[in-house]
Structure 1
Amino acid sequence: MGCAPLATRCAVLGAAVLALAACGTEPDQPVVRDIAAEAPTGPDRSAPPVGGVHDYQLGGAYPPPAGVTVVTRDSTAEPVPGLHNICYVNGFQTQPADRDLWLEQRRDLVLSGPDGEPVIDPDWPDELLLDTSTEQHRTRLAEIIGATVADCAARGFDSVELDNLDSYTRSDGALDADDNLTFARLLVDAAHGAGLAVAQKNAPDLGVRGKDEAGYDFAIAESCHRWTECADYTEHYGGLVLDIEYADDLRGTFPEVCADPETPATTTLRDHDLVPPADPAHVFDHC
């Protein structure tokens, strides 16, 4: 197995990852490495500014509107100079473009159902669930996903969003919250070692465990107003919560959402597919 796609170098950060496969080494023959010595040096990064204006650009990068101070882009995109840049990484499931790579070269790291078939996300059928159920799997996955996190830091992102922490809820009991939180700790430690702050993405049912056990620094929530979950995030992260509401899901108007005292100060309205402004379906507003 070679380096993870999107990574410009084979590197893994984080003192918690003790036995990882070297780049170009077969994953079944892990070598012990001094991870702390390998971590690149650089300035400490911080969480996004409280009360900032956030643009969520996962459907395609474009120049942020005037007034935006925080932007989230896919790990394949470039950060925006002068803003707080969040790097999106699919930490617990595979990206659609990498499906064949995982099935052909990393099949044992993809969760299997009772029928032996890969477990998919029912809402995103091009995404496969990663198998975080064993220490060996978590260690090898940390090498792969950690390389992408390292690349985010090397290219100038300030923080990272690790998506699909809640994949265990789609695993038919094959995974549990403990599995994913243990794996999350490895990724968070890797990101912190690279100078990146890390966002808990969704999973409000975890309560304080995301912050206390995995070490997340802030939260990114989808539709927390719609599902009356915003307080579940702000209770633990205070003003460090970035909410994205979707125009086709709103109960009432967006001004009413912003007027709700439980709505995070940094709340963004986007179209569900997060398309760029050139697309007629594009929606962007903020509280």
Structure 2
Amino acid sequence: MFLVALSVGAFGSPLTKRAVTLPPLNGKADYQIGGPYTPASDVLVVTRDNTASPVASKYNICYINAFQTQPDAASFWQSSANAGLLLHKASGALFEDPDWPGEYFLDTRTDANRQAIATIINGWIDSCQAKGFNAIEPDNLDTFTRSNNLLTAADNLALAKLFTDHAHSIGLAVAQKNTGGDLGSTGKSTVGFDFAVAEECQEYEECDSYTDVYGDNIIEIEYTDNGIAAWNSACSARGSSISVIYRDRDVVPSGDSAYHYQEC
């Protein structure tokens, strides 16, 4: 599927949007952000971290942690040049993700910060495009829901618009990662997201918030630590229309004893 348009919105100047290709509808997907490995021959869509390379003859999605830091990037974000881009609590301590130790929220509250963060993220997006990825998956859009009201949806969306416009200008599609229940259609209509990657939407009973906006342009991931019932229900409800994946929480590579992968 191809989309051609102008990226125009409330958060920035229009950028020409080149033709972008969306993932094949209901194309069997594999989610490899915890480490790359050779996918099964019938897999059509592969998601990998931006530090990895895409897979030939597949639709490749480039994962970017766009609203908080990766544990192995602490020195980069805490350098003198970038330390002001991190969110601090009133105590002065960095705001650490309560669920992912070692990951710190980015401070999206000012236009200057958003522009500086986007400059960094857009460089990573350029690298994804140069490697041959077809799309990007910017993660942790929902930090505003976990920031004790320090961050807002409007500011996170304004940042998302900056790198979505950039990705579109170089021919990459952009996924809305999670946050469906909090944003409704706003992510698509305001930011310009093209499709969705939804984690645990069956577990949290919010899959309709994605299908209502993106139809079947969705990849769903349920996790083994929630038990298989949610995945079975997801397969029954949507497995004939979209790719629904059942993966281990840390999405480790095949060959690791904790690896698990199933797809409806």
TM-score strictly above 0.5: yes
Return the letter of the residue paired with 2:36.
Answer: A
SS in 1 for 2:221: strand
SS in 1 for 2:79: helix
Q: Does 1:171 align with 2:178?
A: no
Partners of 1:255 and 1:169 lie apart in 2 by: 28
Q: Does 1:89 align with 2:70?
A: no
SS in 1 for 2:145: helix
Aligned to 1:65: 40
Partners of 1:92 and 1:77 lie apart in 2 by: 20
Partners of 2:205 and 2:240 lie apart in 1 by: 9
Return the letter of the residue paired with 1:230.
Answer: C
Q: Does 1:104 align with 2:79?
A: yes
Return the letter of the residue paired with 1:196.
Answer: L
Which structure 1 residue ranges, 5 or more long, are not aligned? 1-13, 19-34
SS in 2 for 1:125: coil
Q: Does 1:191 align with 2:167?
A: yes
Q: Does 1:286 align with 2:263?
A: yes
Aligned to 2:24: 49
Cα pair distance change 1:101/1:176, threshold 3 Å: same
Q: How does 1:206-285 map to 2 (within 5 A)?
A: 206-250=183-227, 252=229, 254-261=231-238, 265-285=242-262
The alignment yields a C-alpha RMSD, in angstroms, of 2.2
Larger relative strand fraction: 2
SS in 1 for 2:225: coil
Cα pair distance change 1:258/1:152, threshold 3 Å: same
How far residue 173 of structure 1 moved from its aligned partner, in angstroms, is: 1.1
Percent identity over the alignment is 43
Aligned to 1:132: 108
Which structure 2 residue ranges, 5 or more long, are not aligned? 1-6
Q: Do the aligned residues in 1 keep the contact of 2:12 with 2:161 (CA within 8 Å)?
A: no
**Aligned to 1:154, which of 130, 138, 155?**
130
Partners of 1:115 and 1:140 lie apart in 2 by: 24
How far residue 45 of structure 1 moved from its aligned partner, in angstroms, is: 3.0
Cα pair distance change 1:144/1:267, threshold 3 Å: same
How far residue 264 of structure 1 moved from its aligned partner, in angstroms, is: 5.6
Give the total of aligned pairs.
254
Partners of 1:226 and 1:108 lie apart in 2 by: 36
Cα pair distance change 1:68/1:83, threshold 3 Å: same
Q: Does 1:202 align with 2:178?
A: yes
**CA-to-partner distance for each residue in 1:231-269, whole Å, 9 max, x for gaps?**
110000000011001112135274443112588621111
The normalised TM-score by structure 2 is: 0.90
How far residue 211 of structure 1 moved from its aligned partner, in angstroms, is: 0.4
How far residue 227 of structure 1 moved from its aligned partner, in angstroms, is: 1.0
Return the letter of the residue paired with 2:140.
Answer: N
